[in-house]
Amino acid sequence: MLNKILPVAVGAVALVALSACGGGSNAATGAGAGGKGPIVMGFAQVGAESGWRTANTKSVQESAKAAGITLKFSDAQQKQENQIKAIRSYIQQKVDVIAFSPVVETGWDTVLLEAKRANIPVILTDRAVDSEDKTLYKTFLGSDFVAEGKKAGEWLVKDSQGKSEVNVVELQGTTGAAPAIDRKEGFAEAVKAAPQIKVIASQTGDFTRSGGKQVMEAFLKSNPKIDVVYAHNDDMGLGAIEAIEAAGKVPGKDIKIITVDAVHDGVQALADGKINYIVECSPLLGDQLMDLAKKVVAGQSVPERVVTQETTFTQEQAKAALPQRKY
Ligand code: GYE
């Protein structure tokens, strides 16, 4: 999997700027190479809302172990206030580095400033924050969610050729989360190329299977003609399948489904013909995260953005890929 993930430096200017504000906590704590003991990382996870998240947590835990990094792990149950509490407690415990996947984009400046003042470097993993002050964190490791949304939309534009009307319902991720905002935006931009595609309803299912099912049930009741579901993750798409089947329709045929993630259950449903297309989003960020952590703790400069490389799957490709899927 690692060979699919390439670090991308944003540019020389960004690198210079970063090294200027670098200076990890190595000197302050004596941790890391040549220091007193293993690096201690505080990791504030979003929750356990999806198959993607479960695989991401496992990847972080396994990679920390393999890298000899002591991991303090917390699960925020999709609540920003819990994540802020966890970060404050990591600051109090004087960990060497804090990594977190921000549940929503906004509202992080205060706690990030507290970490900066305590001289504890922060790494954003998976999701971004909208802070204007880029010195509040060292780097952001994760996917390009706008690109993912575009890939989903581009597939639908091709699939809609020659059709006069294509009604889409959208199952959004957690309100205010970077992947929900960006996947919506990328998709909307791509489908502009085909005016017959109309997003007739769009609502959050909070990235969960039960959320996707409930919202889809409501969509089916209030919209007589739905041609396509665009779900911001596999789990909501899998929930939608249940709702569609309960309504006596055939997912993948009567109503086409496009999702993002490509976790095992999603790829299985794609191979079974119930989903039509999946845009991959890799949760296997652990090894890269630990490498970045070692660097920032040692005071080395790191690229300000590290983008994960990802692919897409059709039903045929899903059948071929299924035996090798790691999550
Ligand atoms: O797509 C979804 C999860 O932030 C990329 O969060 C992640 C998203 C992922 O709940 O399944």
Say if residue 120 is in the same domain as residue 199. Answer: no
Say if residue 129 is in the same domain as residue 255. Answer: no
Say if residue 234 is in the same domain as residue 192. Answer: yes
Say if residue 127 is in the same domain as residue 18. Answer: yes
Structural domain containing residue 126? 14-143+283-309
Give dist(CA 137, CA 135) in Å, integer: 5
Report angle CA 47, 51, 52 to the nearest 5 degrees.
75
Residue 127: inside a domain: yes
Give dist(CA 186, CA 162) in Å, integer: 23
Give me the tens of pLDDT residue by residue for the chain, a chain 327 residues long. Answer: 333 333 443 333 333 333 333 333 444 444 544 456 899 999 999 999 999 999 999 999 999 999 999 999 999 999 999 999 999 999 999 999 999 999 999 999 999 999 999 999 999 999 999 999 999 999 999 999 999 999 999 999 999 999 999 999 999 999 999 999 999 999 999 999 999 999 999 999 999 999 999 999 999 999 999 999 999 999 999 999 999 999 999 999 999 999 999 999 999 999 999 999 999 999 999 999 999 999 999 999 999 999 999 999 999 999 999 998 889
Q: Whose CA is nearest to atom 8 of ligand 1?
A: 179
* Closest ligand 1 atom number to CA of residue 49: 10
Say if residue 51 is in the same domain as residue 89. Answer: yes
List residues bridging with 287 in a β-sheet.
Answer: none
Domain containing residue 301: CATH number: 3.40.50.2300
Does the beta carbon of 179 sit less than 6 angstroms from any atom of ligand 1? yes
**Count of residues in the chain:** 327
Give dist(CA 291, CA 281) in Å, integer: 20
Say if residue 176 is in the same domain as residue 268. Answer: yes
Count of domains for the chain = 2
Contact 39, 299 (CB under 8 A): no
Q: Which residues contact 3 (CB under 8 A, 6 or more apart)?
A: none
pTM value is 0.89
Say if residue 234 is in the same domain as residue 202. Answer: yes
Torsion sign, CA atoms 106, 111, 115, 118? positive
Cα 163 to the center of its chain, rounded Å: 33
Give dist(CA 204, CA 211) in Å, integer: 8
Say if residue 205 is in the same domain as residue 274. Answer: yes
Say if residue 167 is in the same domain as residue 125. Answer: no
Say if residue 158 is in the same domain as residue 267. Answer: yes
Say if residue 105 is in the same domain as residue 185. Answer: no
Does the beta carbon of 281 sit less than 6 angstroms from any atom of ligand 1? yes
Residue 208: inside a domain: yes
Give dist(CA 326, CA 5) in Å, integer: 15
Say if residue 175 is in the same domain as residue 54. Answer: no
